[in-house]
Copies of this chain bind each other. A is one copy, B any other.
Amino acid sequence: MALEIVSESQCFGGKQLVFQHSSDVLGCDMKTSVFVPRHGEESKMPVVWFLSGLTSTHENAPTKSGFQRVAAELGLIVVCPDTSPRGDHVPDDEAWDFGQGAGFYLDATEEPWSRNFNMESYVARELPCLVGDHFPADMARQAIIGHSMGGHGALTIALKNPDRFKSVSAFSPIVSPMNCPWGEKALAGYLGDARSDWAAHDACALVASAASQFDDILIDQGTADNFLEGQLKPELFQEACAAAGQKLSLRMQEGYDHSYNFIATFIEDHLRFHAARL
């Protein structure tokens, strides 16, 4: 598969790139950000995926989280995909929390979404092939981080692909889309009304159905986050992990909100958590 580099900017000695490619599974052109630390000719580096939240694009994390400093130090490639298929021919919705910008990292089965809204296949299969082919990436060493809707994506994709990911962490994730308004709207819209089809996209349900797959899962959650009680409900994941014997390090961070100011503060901890496992 071919890709085109659309921008390249030096940052902490490495390169912050944006590439564009034609996605088969999404049926549209997509842009993805990649940070590649400075490296020797022969060396391949581990890959950390960062999945963003509602309304975000491939640009939010590279611009606002400041991950490059620590990724450069630790020698981690960081890949930031977009949050949905894009384009005038791609279905959309007037709401900010459904349609473009809100792909929820699943493969839709309902019309008119099923042709394009296949972000799970995109992140779990198509994009890794591209990254492995075009960057000095050691695809045997991958980890995944997500924020909010992207936290949901990181947890579910990691739990379904434990062989691929050495570790997983999240900032203020949607841990149970079956049990919050954002998730119920998205799952019903993309998958239909049969709730039995939803469990495969619910981190709480997934962790309950599997033996412990990771030595630890790191979640940071701000206590001043406006979405904490109504949407995020980390206690549900805490209960599910406890019941399943999955170790969870849930850190309630006093006074922090849902923004990138929160992510920027703790991204170093997450990258070091992953580097120790890669």
Which residues of chain A from 119 to 145 have any CB-CB distance to chain B below 8 Å in the complex?
Answer: none
Would you call A9 an interface residue if the criterion is a C-beta within 8 Å of the partner chain's C-beta atoms? yes
Would you call A259 an interface residue if the criterion is a C-beta within 8 Å of the partner chain's C-beta atoms? yes
Q: Looking at the complex, which one of B10, B64, B257, B264 makes contact with A12 (CB distance below 8 Å)?
A: B264
Cross-chain contact B66 with A261 (CB below 8 angstroms): no
CA distance A222 to B10 in the complex (A): 10
Shortest CB-to-CB span from A251 to chain B, Å, is: 14
Residue among A11, A64, A262 facing the most chain B CB atoms (10 A cut-off): A11
Cross-chain contact A66 with B257 (CB below 8 angstroms): no
Shortest CB-to-CB span from A1 to chain B, Å, is: 27
Assembly of this chain: how many copies?
A: 2
Shortest CB-to-CB span from A78 to chain B, Å, is: 13
Kindly list chain B residues whose C-beta atoms are within 8 Å of the C-beta of A9: 257, 259, 261-262
Cross-chain contact A262 with B66 (CB below 8 angstroms): no
Would you call A118 an interface residue if the criterion is a C-beta within 8 Å of the partner chain's C-beta atoms? no
Q: Looking at the complex, which one of B11, B222, B256, B259 makes contact with A264 (CB distance below 8 Å)?
A: B11
Which residues of chain A from 246 to 261 have any CB-CB distance to chain B below 8 Å in the complex?
Answer: 255-257, 259-261
- Which single residue of chain B is at the shortest CB-CB distance from A16? B261
CA distance A260 to B222 in the complex (A): 27
Would you call A195 an interface residue if the criterion is a C-beta within 8 Å of the partner chain's C-beta atoms? no
Q: Looking at the complex, which one of B11, B224, B259 makes contact with A265 (CB distance below 8 Å)?
A: B11
- Which single residue of chain B is at the shortest CB-CB distance from A258? B9
